[in-house]
């Protein structure tokens, strides 16, 4: 089966975020004063084969721990899009 | 001193390091391919600057898994001298051979310019020839050199004397204005607890000839030669 | 097929009906869609230079040191020691107008490939923030010319997968942009410098193999152009199996595969017996190479898709057959000379000028890119010209680009001459002797007579200046049709120049070196203010005649400078250009961190022209007092007028009773952030 | 009211994605052969003030169009986390 996983990697709250600050500055300069904070992270979309949902999830978890995120500075969250048996996939149930 | 200069896909400063070692210092040096697994012939391993694997994901994140890195880890654990410059520093941190991480520069811009470094620790393998407090003029060239460590780690590396270089003013004062990238404590380079592994953001190999503006970078390589002499004695 | 039916397609590929008829004559039948697309690409202005070609024939392209003139990926010039410098200038206007960051990135990528395709390792990139002229160094016997010279050789496509990138890029570049271009935006690509680096290393390694007969980058019009040009240059033919090309997306047609402009791809020709060795190189760098075809003796390019012929065109027609266009030119009446507003507050004007966007320090920009890697940068950004050590020697290469759009707008002939003269002066100020020129001609729509007139005059100025200064033009680029919704870009020819310094220890900096040294102005100042930064600052209308260049004077001045620097007489030299004399003096003071005391105006000249005029053929130098007699003698023997200007020293920048500014306040203005 | 918005910026499917390709190569080198594709994007978390949900959403939409995404090469998706009146926020209803 083919799964689609979304990995969200963010800087830990204690780590300052130069990119986020710069973007916030840019938004303020554009007149969007109501923005209080911006945090910049990564959004990785993986397509992978696995026997079942559990296997897919544990593989992505492993990849993220090993490579996709750096535990010294980053947190992560994984969302697995389960291919809905009724096809369609796209709008398929979002389960985390 | 037999030096190995590791070349990853995307490494840029390998040739500059070879130039500094062989042409300027007259020391034997060879390139080490990222797939090599044996470093037995070497006294010093340099991980040079560049943008291994395009700096995609995080600088150094993918290079850290190259086969050669297992050998580098063994080499370091056996007391071999390892110097990580710029991207090499980032790789050493990703490989957990050095603590902390390097974030985007606070300005969010790439910076290529001359900086002044104060030598904080003259006992590391790469600063034996320096006096504590000595100021070296060496260029930086990076977009992600903003040193970060969590408070406990930072406290520990400060306490253990693992901070080797700090960005400073020409007269040696450590000031906010002399910090080019937002590094915590103006940290420009650190060592492991044994002092045989050092990583720094500035490029000493670019400061080895008067013609190019400074010879202060030679101190690091000369220190390594002396460190080896010491071991040999 | 009737032309009428094809009208829409012709428009799409930007060919006119006469050109269509020429195609039918050349191949003896109506072209199919793929063939028409291929003609459209290769007969585009961008690839064929159908409008500029006749004019470019005026340029001097030969000289004793020229190893490769125009016609190859890049030009090459001998620099002694068996080494050659390879260089080239490019602009990447259309994609950059739509998406500047990726446009600039792919522009740099393309020119890098031009240089390493010649077998040279790129050593430097210059940018006038419009363009990327680039240099590389290579041993003569490794200089590579991209030619298919033997039937049976194998065609390999290496690097990135082929996607639907810029399918209309080449033809699109010949059509005026309109608001609709926005819809085509997905054509912009994301550059991959990482892959480019691997390709560069692999090509340099390949260059050392025997049996690799050609290395060619894929640029505009992609594979169609690269394959056709390679085969045609060697008077051979080429067969391509389009289905063998690795694709990034499914469902791509042969048309898309042949015309894709995906970046980071190279075409390699190898003798059959060398293929294995070449593949080893690609494997080492983890690059994949598709064997997509073979060199033939047919003189034709034949494309097959799964064995079925989908295009079959004689190369001569495709590469060389485009009917040249000779548009009508018109020339404006000579402009009146301007009235010169008097300088009321010279101090304030100097500060405003040096803080103006075109004169202030470029450091905030150049510190955002690496200008030191490769350990050869002797003078980096912030000098008159960059100076690089030639690796393994004690020689230096001086590099610069120049162009003054304001002069060119007022007078394309004089303005282009001035750009050549100024580039040469910049090179000479470092102590290096100019050896060759590259150029990039950026103009609007040449079908408008006024614009074709500008182009014609500009090329005439380029040719005259290069001939007078004995400089071969070895490469270049022409970018026309830079027009959006009827608005044309100002004419902006850019000159790139390379110079050679035989002994780096004789290099000459541009900042003041020593307190007590005397500063001299070489060359004549005239009442010339039109086109100046000073008048622009005052908001004066752009009119009048820009400074005239006497090529004879320029030649003498440069000889005199080389003589003086070579004998170690001058300690610093800086050319007087944008902003005029005071700006040049202030810059040398700032570079050197030393003040200056000048008694005041010298010569029978207005204060405005003396302070801020931009008369050409002038340089300031500093000299130790004891060597002043030598300088005077040298200048007399070269017939160059010499004026004592002031003495270096102190904390202030002082000119007569008009100006007294601390270096700090000057620096503050100069370092105004962008 | 303070809203939290998540903006996901991805390269358009037709645009090449060198970062994604390289990360996929890295995962394969680590032995994760089952990965078919990786697309690398940005994940921005904004905290902003707005009178109501509609205003928050339209502001974020506007910021994204103007600054956060480059329409030439990128697509985007916005998710607004509505502050749940019962506090807690964190697990609060995800409505798109
Ligand atoms: N203005 C010019 N002056 C001299 N040579 C030129 C000029 N414009 C183009 N050339 C030469 O004509 C050849 C073809 O140019 P071009 O089509 O731009 O090459 P590419 O597609 O490789 O960039 C090159 O050798 C280039 O150097």
pLDDT, tens digit (0-9, with 9 covering 90-100), for D38-76: 999 999 999 999 999 999 999 999 999 999 998 888 999
Which chains border B (3 or more CB–CB pairs < 8 Å)? Answer: A, C, D
- Which atom of ligand 1 lies closest to the CA of C88? 27
- Which atom of ligand 1 lies closest to the CA of C47? 17
**Which has the higher per-residue pLDDT, C288 or C131?**
C288
pTM score, two decimals?
0.89
Nearest-CA residue for ligand 1 atom 16 is C477
H helix or E strand, kind and range, residue C85: strand C83-88
Going by C-beta distance under 8 Å and a sequence separation of 6 or more, which residues neighbour residue C365?
A: C129, C674
C661 and C558 in a common domain: yes
Residue C401 in any domain: the answer is: no
Inform me whether the C-beta atom of residue A30 falls under 8 Å from chain B C-beta atoms: no
pLDDT of residue C174: 40
- List pLDDT tens digits, range C312-362: 999 999 999 999 998 999 988 776 666 666 777 899 999 999 999 999 998
Going by C-beta distance under 8 Å and a sequence separation of 6 or more, which residues neighbour residue C62?
A: C69, C472
> Per-residue pLDDT averaged across C139-158, rounded?
84
pLDDT cut 70: percent of chain C above it: 90
Contact state of A32 with D68 under an 8 Å Cβ cutoff: no
What is chain B's mean pLDDT, rounded?
Answer: 96
pLDDT of residue C183: 42
For residue C146, the CA-to-ligand 1 centroid distance in Å is: 14
| Interface-testing mutation among B21, B212, B217, B221, with chain C (most C C-beta atoms within 10 A) | B212
Contact state of D25 with B57 under an 8 Å Cβ cutoff: no
Inform me whether the C-beta atom of residue D67 falls under 8 Å from chain B C-beta atoms: no
Nearest CA in chain B to A12: B150
Report the residue from B56, B57, B65 with minimal CB separation from D29: B65
pLDDT of residue C136: 63
What ipTM does the predicted assembly reach? 0.86
Listed residue (A10, A48, B51, A89) closest to D39, CA to CA? A48
Inform me whether the C-beta atom of residue C674 falls under 8 Å from chain B C-beta atoms: no
**Span between the terminal Cα atoms of chain C, in Å:** 57
C652 and C528 in a common domain: yes
Residue C109 in any domain: the answer is: no
The answer to whether residues B164 and B132 touch, using CB atoms and an 8 Å cutoff, is: no
Interatomic CA distance for residues C622 and C512, integer angstroms: 7
- List pLDDT tens digits, range A29-76: 999 999 999 999 999 999 999 999 999 999 999 999 999 999 999 999
Contact state of D34 with A47 under an 8 Å Cβ cutoff: no
Interatomic CA distance for residues C372 and C379, integer angstroms: 10
Q: What is the 3-state composition of chain D as percent helix, strand, coil, each rounded to the nearest 5?
A: 30, 35, 35
Question: What are the b/e assignments for C354-389, b being 16+ CB within 10 Å?
Answer: bbbeebbbeeeebbeebbbbbbbbbbbbbbbbbbbb
Nearest CA in chain B to A73: B101
How many Cβ pairs closer than 8 A exist between chain B and C?
63
C342 and C294 in a common domain: no
C550 and C514 in a common domain: yes
C223 and C363 in a common domain: no
β-strands B3-7, B29-33: how paired?
parallel
- SS3 readout for C426-484: HHHHCCCEEEEEEEEEECCCCCCHHHHHHHHHHHHHHHHHHHHCCCCEEEEEEECCCEE
> Per-residue pLDDT averaged across C247-268, rounded?
90
Identify the top-confidence range among A17-31, C110-124, C238-252, C617-631. C617-631
Give, in order, the Cα–Cα distances in Å from B83 to each of B181, B194, C470. 21, 13, 50
Contact state of D15 with C188 under an 8 Å Cβ cutoff: yes
Angle C33-42/C222-233 helices, nearest 10 degrees? Answer: 70
**Which has the higher per-residue pLDDT, C168 or C674?**
C674
Listed residue (C483, C496, C413, C398) closest to C448, CA to CA? C483
Residue C501 in any domain: the answer is: no
Domain count, chain C: 2
pLDDT of residue C540: 86
SS3 of residue B26 by DSSP: coil
**Span between the terminal Cα atoms of chain A, in Å:** 18
Interatomic CA distance for residues C120 and C217, integer angstroms: 13
Interatomic CA distance for residues B49 and C172, integer angstroms: 40
Is C235 part of the annotated catalytic residue set? no
Interatomic CA distance for residues C79 and C68, integer angstroms: 13
Which domains, and CATH codes, for chain A? 2-95 (3.30.1280.10)
Chain B residue numbers with beta carbons less than 8 Å from the beta carbon of D25 are 53, 62
**Measured CA angle at B28 (ends B26, B33), to 5 deg:** 135
C354 and C275 in a common domain: no
Contact state of C368 with B211 under an 8 Å Cβ cutoff: no
Interatomic CA distance for residues B47 and A57, integer angstroms: 35
SS3 of residue B172 by DSSP: coil
What is chain C's mean pLDDT, rounded?
Answer: 88
User: Could you give the strand order of the β-sheet that contains D94-95, starting from the edge strand earlier in sequence?
Assistant: A94-95, A74-81, A2-11, A35-49, D35-49, D2-11, D74-81, D94-95
Is C284 part of the annotated catalytic residue set? no
C257 alpha carbon, distance to own chain's centre: 30
C304 and C221 in a common domain: yes
- Which atom of ligand 1 lies closest to the CA of C46? 17
Give, in order, the Cα–Cα distances in Å from C592 to each of B122, B191, C270, C509. 34, 37, 54, 9
Q: Provide the residue-wise pLDDT of chain B in tens; the chain has 233 residues.
A: 999 999 999 999 999 999 999 999 999 999 999 999 999 999 999 999 999 999 999 999 999 999 999 999 999 999 999 999 999 999 999 999 999 999 999 999 999 999 999 999 999 999 999 999 999 999 999 999 999 999 999 999 999 999 999 999 999 999 999 999 999 999 999 999 999 999 999 999 999 999 999 999 999 999 999 999 887 65
Sign of CA dihedral C46, C49, C52, C57: positive
Contact state of D46 with A35 under an 8 Å Cβ cutoff: yes
pLDDT of residue B179: 98
Listed residue (C328, C287, C413) closest to C51, CA to CA? C328
Residue C426 in any domain: the answer is: no
CATH, residue C163: 3.90.650.10
C342 and C309 in a common domain: no
Q: Where are the domains of chain B?
A: 3-232
pLDDT at residue C371 tops 90: no
Report the residue from A30, A45, A47 with minimal CB separation from D67: A30
Interface of C with B in 282-301 (CB under 8 A): 285-286
Confidence at C111, pLDDT banded by 50, 70, 90? confident
Nearest CA in chain B to A9: B57
The answer to whether residues C44 and C38 touch, using CB atoms and an 8 Å cutoff, is: no
C342 and C308 in a common domain: no
Listed residue (C183, C181, C193, C201) closest to C263, CA to CA? C193
Inform me whether the C-beta atom of residue D29 falls under 8 Å from chain B C-beta atoms: yes
For residue C477, the CA-to-ligand 1 centroid distance in Å is: 5
pLDDT at residue C464 tops 70: yes
User: Could you give the strand order of the β-sheet that contains B135-142, starting from the edge strand earlier in sequence?
Assistant: B29-33, B3-7, B44-47, B81-85, B197-200, B187-191, B163-168, B111-119, B135-142
Confidence at C249, pLDDT banded by 50, 70, 90? confident
The answer to whether residues B103 and A74 touch, using CB atoms and an 8 Å cutoff, is: no
Confidence at C289, pLDDT banded by 50, 70, 90? very high
pLDDT at residue C517 tops 60: yes
Q: For residue C84, which phi and psi values (nearest 5 degrees)? A: -130, 150
Residue C452 in any domain: the answer is: no
Residue C468 in any domain: the answer is: no
pLDDT of residue D25: 95
C360 and C227 in a common domain: no
Contact state of A47 with D68 under an 8 Å Cβ cutoff: no
Contact state of D30 with A66 under an 8 Å Cβ cutoff: yes
Q: What is the DSSP string of C140-165?
A: GGG-------STTPEEEEEESPB-ST
CATH of B3-232, one of 3.40.50.880, 1.10.287.610, 3.40.50.1260, 3.90.870.40: 3.40.50.880
**Which range marks the domain in which residue C149 is found?**
31-53+145-320
Chain B residue numbers with beta carbons less than 8 Å from the beta carbon of A70 are 58, 61, 94, 101
Interatomic CA distance for residues C87 and C476, integer angstroms: 9
Q: What is the 3-state composition of chain C as percent helix, strand, coil, each rounded to the nearest 5?
A: 40, 25, 40
H helix or E strand, kind and range, residue C103: helix C100-117
Report the residue from D34, D42, D62 with minimal CB separation from A42: D42
Interface of C with B in 180-239 (CB under 8 A): 192-195, 197-198
- List pLDDT tens digits, range C64-93: 889 888 877 788 889 888 888 888 887 765
How many Cβ pairs closer than 8 A exist between chain A and B?
40
- List pLDDT tens digits, range C400-436: 989 999 999 999 999 999 999 999 999 999 999 999 9
Q: How many CB atoms lie within 10 A of CB A76?
A: 19
C587 and C557 in a common domain: yes
Is B203 part of the annotated catalytic residue set? yes
Sign of CA dihedral C115, C80, C467, C580: positive
Going by C-beta distance under 8 Å and a sequence separation of 6 or more, which residues neighbour residue B123?
A: B161, B195
């Amino acid at each position: 089966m083919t799964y689609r996983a979304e990995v969200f990697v963010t800087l830990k709250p204690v780590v300052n975020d130069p990119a986020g600050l710069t973007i916030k500055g840019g938004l303020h300069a554009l007149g969007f004063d109501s923005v209080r904070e911006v945090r910049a992270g990564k959004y990785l979309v993986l397509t992978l084969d696995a026997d079942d949902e559990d296997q897919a999830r544990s593989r992505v978890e492993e990849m993220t721990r090993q490579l996709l995120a750096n535990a010294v500075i980053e947190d992560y969250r994984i969302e697995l899009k389960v291919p809905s048996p009724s096809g369609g996939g796209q709008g398929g149930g979002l389960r985390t | 001193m037999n030096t190995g200069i590791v070349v990853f896909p995307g490494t840029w400063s390998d040739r500059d390091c070879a130039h500094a070692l062989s042409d300027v210092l007259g020391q034997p040096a060879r390139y080490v391919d990222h797939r090599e697994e044996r470093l037995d012939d070497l006294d010093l391993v340099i991980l040079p600057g560049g943008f291994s694997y395009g700096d995609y994901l995080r600088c150094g994140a993918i290079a850290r898994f190259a086969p050669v890195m297992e050998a580098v880890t063994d080499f370091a654990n056996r007391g071999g001298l390892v110097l990580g410059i710029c991207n090499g520093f980032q790789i050493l941190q990703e490989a957990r051979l050095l603590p902390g991480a390097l974030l985007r520069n606070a300005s969010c811009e790439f910076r290529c310019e001359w900086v002044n470094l104060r030598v904080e620790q003259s006992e590391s393998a790469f600063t034996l020839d320096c006096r504590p407090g000595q100021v070296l003029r060496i260029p930086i060239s990076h977009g992600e050199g903003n040193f970060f460590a969590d408070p406990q780690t930072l406290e520990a590396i400060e306490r253990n004397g693992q901070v080797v270089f700090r960005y400073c003013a020409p007269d040696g004062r450590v000031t906010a204005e002399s910090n080019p990238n937002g590094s915590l404590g103006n940290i420009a380079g650190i060592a492991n607890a044994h002092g045989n592994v050092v990583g720094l953001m500035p490029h000493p190999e670019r400061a080895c000839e008067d013609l190019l503006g400074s010879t202060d970078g030679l101190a690091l390589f000369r220190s390594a030669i002396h460190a080896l002499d010491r071991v040999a004695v | 097929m009737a032309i009428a039916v094809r009208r829409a397609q012709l428009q799409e590929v930007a060919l006119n009906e006469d050109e269509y008829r020429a195609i039918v004559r050349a191949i003896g039948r109506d072209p199919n869609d793929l063939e028409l697309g291929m003609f459209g690409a290769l007969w585009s202005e961008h690839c064929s230079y159908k409008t500029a070609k006749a004019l470019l024939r005026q340029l001097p392209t030969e000289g004793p040191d020229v190893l490769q003139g125009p016609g190859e990926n890049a030009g090459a010039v001998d620099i002694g020691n068996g080494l050659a410098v390879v260089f080239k200038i490019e602009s990447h206007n259309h994609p950059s107008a739509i998406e500047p960051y990726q446009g600039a990135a792919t522009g740099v990528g393309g020119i890098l490939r031009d240089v390493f395709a010649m077998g040279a390792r790129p050593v430097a990139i210059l940018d006038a923030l419009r363009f990327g002229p680039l240099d590389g160094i290579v041993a003569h016997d490794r200089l590579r010319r991209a030619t298919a010279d033997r039937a049976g050789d194998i065609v390999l496509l290496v690097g990135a997968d082929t996607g639907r990138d810029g399918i209309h890029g080449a033809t699109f570049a010949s059509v005026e942009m309109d608001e609709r271009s926005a819809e085509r935006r997905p054509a912009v690509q994301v550059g991959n410098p990482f892959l480019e680096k691997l390709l560069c290393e692999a090509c340099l390694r390949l260059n050392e193999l025997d049996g690799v007969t050609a290395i060619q980058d894929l640029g505009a019009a992609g594979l169609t152009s690269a394959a056709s040009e390679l085969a045609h240059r060697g008077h051979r033919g080429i067969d391509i199996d389009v289905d063998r090309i690795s694709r990034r997306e499914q469902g791509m047609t042969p048309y898309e595969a042949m015309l894709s402009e995906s970046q980071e791809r190279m075409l390699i020709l190898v003798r059959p017996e060398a293929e294995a060795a070449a593949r080893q190189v690609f494997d080492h760098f983890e690059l994949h190479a598709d064997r997509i075809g073979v060199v033939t003796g047919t003189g034709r390019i034949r494309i097959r898709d799964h064995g079925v012929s989908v295009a079959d065109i004689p190369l001569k027609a495709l590469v060389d057959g485009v009917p040249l266009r000779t548009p009508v030119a018109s020339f404006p009446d000579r402009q009146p000379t301007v009235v010169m507003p008097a300088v009321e507050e010279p101090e304030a004007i100097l500060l405003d000028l040096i803080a103006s966007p075109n004169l202030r320090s470029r450091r905030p920009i150049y510190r955002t890119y690496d200008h030191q890697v490769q350990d050869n940068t002797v003078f980096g950004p912030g000098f008159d010209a960059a100076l690089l050590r030639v690796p393994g020697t004690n020689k230096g290469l001086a590099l610069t680009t120049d162009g003054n759009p304001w002069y060119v707008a007022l007078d394309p002939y004089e303005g282009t001459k001035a750009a050549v003269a100024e580039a040469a002066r910049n090179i000479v100020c470092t102590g290096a002797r100019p050896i060759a020129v590259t150029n990039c001609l950026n103009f609007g729509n040449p079908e408008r007579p006024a614009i074709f007139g500008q182009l014609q005059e500009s090329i005439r100025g380029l040719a005259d200046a290069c001939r007078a200064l004995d400089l071969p033009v070895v490469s270049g680029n022409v970018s026309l049709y830079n027009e959006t919704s009827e608005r044309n870009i100002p004419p902006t020819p850019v000159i790139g120049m390379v110079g050679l310094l035989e002994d780096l220890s004789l290099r000459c900096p541009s900042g003041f070196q020593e307190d007590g040294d005397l500063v001299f102005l070489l060359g004549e100042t005239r009442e010339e203010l039109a086109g100046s930064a000073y008048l622009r600052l005052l908001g004066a209308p752009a009119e009048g005649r820009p400074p005239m260049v006497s090529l004879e004077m320029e030649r003498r001045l440069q000889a005199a400078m080389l003589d003086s620097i070579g004998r170690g007489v001058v300690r610093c030299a800086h050319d007087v250009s944008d902003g005029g004399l005071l700006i040049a003096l202030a810059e040398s003071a700032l570079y050197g961190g030393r003040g200056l005391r000048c008694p005041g105006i010298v010569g029978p000249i207005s204060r405005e022209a003396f302070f801020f005029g931009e008369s050409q053929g002038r340089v300031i130098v500093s000299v130790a007092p004891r060597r002043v007699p030598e300088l005077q003698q040298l200048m007399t023997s070269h017939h160059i007028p010499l004026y004592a200007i002031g003495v270096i020293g102190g904390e202030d920048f002082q000119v007569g009773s008009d100006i007294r500014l601390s270096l700090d306040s000057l620096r503050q203005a100069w370092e105004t952030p962008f």
